[in-house]
Chains A and B, each alone.
Chain A
């Protein structure tokens, strides 16, 4: 691993302040948010392959009933094959109808470890093939590097692997926020202790970002003090993300956990349905908070893998392979199921157990990145080496 080299490099480059990078005029108004569902969400009970009778055979206890025009709270048919889970129809149905949402089924990686941690790492790194990973940079880090642009942020407790390799990406969890703890004098005492230390930039950025978030959320805190706040959970977090991305940031990352449903995942209702509901409402809050910038925003929702097509012995599902990615944005031309597909039967399952991967995640993301920022082939090659981008006409 090249951590030491990175540190040496970091030590020779004078630390830029967050503000310095923040207010550099961005060349493109485009905004991009990656939402990572950690745990391998059960895409098959989210985007339901209802035309497949095999789906109903394989999931006798947890399958979701076919859409039915006389059941307005059941699954929502999107076309002749696919339907949206009842838990998300209220939040996502309108977005789909307004062509601001599309799905890419059979998406994922060629990593076959079926390990959460291994597959999450390999996706975040975004390298061409399996084998020994090079942990020196992640694809979001390389993207920031190629764009040479400021304004990237991770809305997480820790900095995700995918931002590795780019200089000093700030991170902040927006689950709970409060007034910044330190005044200017204290801040300079704290940063002074870290001068020429390899954590110098992290310390300076962290303190500054806390001030900035406190400032940006002043309205909300005022409302909260009056007891007027009514969103909660991920919806509240996503609204805060929307505000920051609307005003200050161009590239964002957030992760959402709780998808590893080995036991009692439920069907139309239950654990998975609740999680999907929470996530979907959050994404709607985010889109609303973005205001007019929603039209130049693309959000992609990914997960490390899908789950077994058949339910397991405990009304849950085990680790699988292909997943369903979501693409959202004000002007993406969605309202459709995109990418390579096949009819789902037992014979078309991968290793007689999972969705196959027909749409490689690097090709899908590369195919989106190119039009979003007008990347040249050479630039895209730096983000995803050896990628053959798949143009799904969603950006």
Chain B
């Protein structure tokens, strides 16, 4: 791509000059790309879209203008497969992670780890282990690539934000155990089908997925070998929230209820006494093994649960998600993510009432939230966490043009300390400004802005062979910029942009500006 105005050191660099010359180039290849006038939107509309989406691109703006707000929101709240542009869908379809079966994969890697562990200690063993881990890391990278391509290019932007939100809520870290091999399946099969469904479905899907069972150690939790890690976090982080009134006794009882919930990837079915055979469950790599289960009586939050096998787990989850504390906890967390760091309690109360009335219907809770005056009043005030910062930059910079290489994006998120699948502890990343806007993080963010503002050959170097096209500066001064970004800029920011001496510097300043830092 030509960059007619770069390289003019210490000369003022003005985007308006570049606009006429390069806007057509920036959107070249997309026949009938909308013009600046077609994209023009009010300030409120833009701010609203910046919450529903990971920042606007020309397609989102045009779709919004075509449908109107109400119809657009309906479409965003309708669960569907990510409707991707075909070149992006084709890239994703080439990935192994799309076609893999988690149970088979786990069985194969388990066997491989077993073989390696049996080798004599020495460099050969180390090397074999390293290679296997690297293959696993490459597999997890594919999952991240699929996720990021969808986040950047899918028109179903609300779903993409929810995918991140629930992955973060039910956090697992790829670095532990075999999770790098499972994370793609976890996202695709445990979380994405339920993003807008009933909350209970998310809890049950994560509870029975091998990634979660490994991550919080429940795969090892068995009668007389209690491991209470998952039981505690299931209440504290996934459903009720700390301070909801449960006790250490409840944690221990829930841990006993969860005994026998584990993993069996390709191993033989355990030999069970006849009374237990009907209680055995096996689906993919998930297994409920009655021989590992504690059949004694348990008391959870005052409810007596008698020994019945896996039905106890379903009963316990039913109890947890019906607790008013759960409705409040989940509603508030959604509001912190979508509305404000300290969301108005009255709004959270209305969301929680909807949650309780609808048996945890996430779509219904979100509808209440988006329709609320408190939501409209809070627009423009959420600081972008690194995921929002990077994805909104990609959407502005490249619009519909598909990147061919996602490594730089993954690296930027890592540099900003928010890599996908990379949070080590089960609490997930923080959702508030205080966690992302410290002095050290601001300077780091500006450095990443500078990297994203530069010509990015790496983004267009195909991961699947063939020759890279010539790279140019990302075109931030494009029709979407004039329609949806420039109108939000303060005089101070405009002055700074006016003093830029090169296109990269102009780009860096725009991405670093306070207005681009908030959604």
Contact = CB atoms under 8 A, between A and B. Distances in A.
A181 B242 contact: no
Nearest to B255: A318
A192 interface: yes
Given A3-B341, A192-B492, A194-B514, A314 B225 contact: yes
B221 A170 contact: no
Contacts, number: 145
25 contacts: A113-B243, A117-B427, A118-B243, A154-B438, A156-B440, A157-B417, A158-B438, A181-B447, A182-B446, A189-B505, A190-B512, A193-B492, A193-B509, A193-B513, A197-B514, A202-B439, A203-B442, A206-B443, A206-B444, A257-B425, A258-B424, A262-B227, A312-B228, A318-B227, A319-B232
B493 interface: yes
A181 B450 contact: yes
Interface in A194-246: 194-195, 197, 199, 201-203, 205-207, 209-210
The SS class assigned to the A binding surface is loop
B466 interface: no
Contacts of A314: 217, 220, 225, 227
Return the 6 tightest CB-CB contacts between A and B, nearest first.
Answer: A313-B225, A206-B443, A206-B439, A159-B438, A205-B439, A171-B440
Contacts of B228: 312, 318-319
A69 to B, nearest CB: 30
Interface string B495-519: 1100110000100110011100000
B440 A115 contact: no
Contacts of A351: 248
B435 to A, nearest CB: 5
B392 to A, nearest CB: 17
Interface string B301-342: 000000000000000000000000000000000000000011
A206 B513 CA distance: 15
Interface in A135-166: 154, 156-159, 164
Interface in B207-250: 217, 220-222, 224-229, 232, 236-237, 242-243, 248
Nearest to B443: A206
A258 B430 CA distance: 18
B441 interface: yes
A168 interface: yes
Nearest to B248: A114
Contacts of B90: none
A3 B343 CA distance: 12
Nearest to B510: A193
B377 interface: no
Interface residues on A, range: 35 or more
Contacts of B440: 154, 156-159, 170-173, 206, 209
Contacts of A172: 439-440
Given A113-B243, A202-B442, A351-B248, A1 B342 contact: yes
Interface residues of B, number: 51
Given A181-B450, A313-B225, A318-B227, A193 B514 contact: yes
Contact of A192 (B217, B243, B496): B496
B226 A195 contact: no
A34 to B, nearest CB: 17
A48 B424 CA distance: 28
Contacts of B217: 262-263, 314, 316
Contacts of B438: 154, 158-159, 171, 202, 206
A173 B414 CA distance: 13
A115 B250 CA distance: 14
A342 interface: no
A195 B495 CA distance: 12
B94 interface: no
Given A117-B242, A172-B440, A351-B248, A318 B229 contact: yes
Contacts of B492: 192-193, 195
B437 A115 contact: no
A355 B363 CA distance: 46
A186 interface: yes
Contact of A116 (B225, B425, B509): B425
Contact of A210 (B417, B443, B513): B443
A115 B232 contact: yes
B439 A203 contact: yes
B64 interface: no
A4 B221 CA distance: 45
A42 interface: no
B439 A263 contact: no
Interface in A247-300: 257-258, 260, 262-263
A171 B242 contact: no
A377 interface: no
A319 B242 CA distance: 15
B346 interface: no
B232 A114 contact: yes
A117 B425 CA distance: 10
Given A168-B439, A193-B493, A313-B221, 17 more contacts: A112-B248, A115-B236, A118-B243, A182-B450, A193-B512, A193-B514, A202-B438, A202-B442, A205-B439, A206-B443, A207-B443, A210-B443, A258-B424, A312-B225, A312-B227, A313-B224, A313-B226
Interface in B376-434: 417, 424-425, 427, 430, 434
Contacts of B435: 158
Given A190-B512, A192-B492, A193-B496, A159 B434 contact: yes
A39 interface: yes
Given A312-B226, A314-B227, A206 B514 contact: no
A157 B341 contact: no
A38 B444 CA distance: 24
B446 A181 contact: yes
A112 B444 CA distance: 37
A257 B220 contact: no
Interface in B107-159: none
Given A158-B438, A206-B441, A263 B236 contact: no
Contacts of A3: 341-342, 434
Nearest to A155: B440
Nearest to B416: A157
A35 to B, nearest CB: 18
Interface string A36-69: 0011000000000000000000000000000000
B353 to A, nearest CB: 23
Contacts of B495: 192
Contacts of B229: 262, 318
Interface string A2-41: 0110000000000000000000000000000000001100
A38 B512 CA distance: 32
A39 B442 contact: no
B48 interface: no
B436 interface: yes
Nearest to B230: A262
A122 B220 CA distance: 30
A200 B368 CA distance: 35
Given A114-B248, A316-B227, A202 B437 contact: yes
Nearest to A2: B342
Nearest to B442: A206
A171 B509 CA distance: 22
Contacts of B436: 158
A288 B224 CA distance: 48
A75 B237 CA distance: 38
A34 B447 CA distance: 29
A113 B242 CA distance: 8
Nearest to B10: A185
Contacts of A173: 440
A100 to B, nearest CB: 30
A169 B514 CA distance: 20
Contacts of A313: 220-222, 224-227
B232 A189 contact: no
Contacts of B443: 203, 206-207, 209-210
